Amino acid sequence: MKELVVVSGKGGTGKTSMVSALASLSKNKVLCDADVDASDLHLIMHPQNKEDHEFFAGHVPRIDTQVCTQCGLCKMNCRWHAIDDNFTIDLIACEGCGVCYYICPEQAILFDENKCGHWYIANSRFGHMVFAKLGIAEENSGKLVTLVRQEANKLAQQKQLDFILTDGPPGIGCPVIASIGGATLVLIVTEPTIAGLHDLKRIIELTKHFKIPSRVCINKYDINLKMSQEIESTAEANDSKVIGKIPFDPFFTKAMVEGKTIFEYDPENSICKTITTMWDCLWNEISESNN
């Protein structure tokens, strides 16, 4: 099974727009939206016939006031100060560690399974798709990312497909780590800005830490040619390479507003040719990889 994961470091560089474009080009695949905090791929893919599954992770404490003697042991040992003087638990502060549940001498604290989101399998005009929605202000996004990737893998095997195209989250923390582990190749979509370059260095470092090869695409590269050159040098110095440079063009936004990929919106646009060339290069590397 081969998997391309599209990440960025910096948010808003164009990952989902790029994944949508690559979805138009790549064949025999399963799409996976691993940006479970703010999953947007469905806004272009328009998935149908959704299978809806609940996602449970971790537990949530609940004090049974009938049994509680207010000894205060739970309060004293809660490192998040989530239990107040009235023995009410602040679920936003609560980390779900279970110390209060285990330590209560009266066994007055219940520890319920936590439903923290949903994950879905659906069809789209570009293939099957697995995506998710994390509950509001929930933790465990890394676990949900791991789950959607596992389900995408299962689905691909079932359908005898051998490629997964994954839209990753921004940043470098646990959702990103969960989205790139075991990937064949990571595509980093960046922008030619001082912030884009700063964040690129950190996401490349993360891919190297996990020994996953990466390639870079500079979106809106003509906003700052000098910065674009710095990005190219940075990529080369870090065992990576810029394999695509996309000029700024409002048609990306116009395509998004119409819920279309750029290939559907304006296939004659020269950017479509640039992305096709980039995709050919990516697919070459992916198919030849041992990962």
* By the rule CB under 8 A, 267 interacts with another protein: no
**Which residue, 67 or 91, is less far from another protein as judged by CB?**
91
| Count of residues that interact with another protein, criterion CB under 8 A | 61
* By the rule CB under 8 A, 180 interacts with another protein: no
**Nearest approach, Cβ of residue 196 and another protein (Å):** 8
* By the rule CB under 8 A, 227 interacts with another protein: yes
**Which residue, 124 or 141, is less far from another protein as judged by CB?**
141
**Which residue, 70 or 193, is less far from another protein as judged by CB?**
193
Per-residue x/- marks for another protein, 203-222, CB under 8 A?
--xx--x----------x--
**Which residue, 231 or 286, is less far from another protein as judged by CB?**
231
**Which residue, 205 or 280, is less far from another protein as judged by CB?**
205
**Which residue, 142 or 244, is less far from another protein as judged by CB?**
142
* By the rule CB under 8 A, 273 interacts with another protein: no
Dihedral of alpha carbons 252, 256, 260, 266, sign: negative
* By the rule CB under 8 A, 79 interacts with another protein: yes
Are 18 and 26 spatial neighbours (Cβ–Cβ below 8 Å)? no
* By the rule CB under 8 A, 105 interacts with another protein: no
Alpha carbon distance 70, 199 (integer Å): 48
* By the rule CB under 8 A, 146 interacts with another protein: no
**Which residue, 145 or 156, is less far from another protein as judged by CB?**
145
Token pair for 228: 């674009």
Question: Footprint of another protein on this chain (CB under 8 A)?
Answer: 8-13, 16, 37-38, 40, 43, 58-59, 77, 79, 92, 95-99, 102-103, 134, 136-139, 141-142, 169-177, 191-196, 198-199, 202, 205-206, 209, 220, 223-224, 227, 248, 250, 253, 256-257, 259
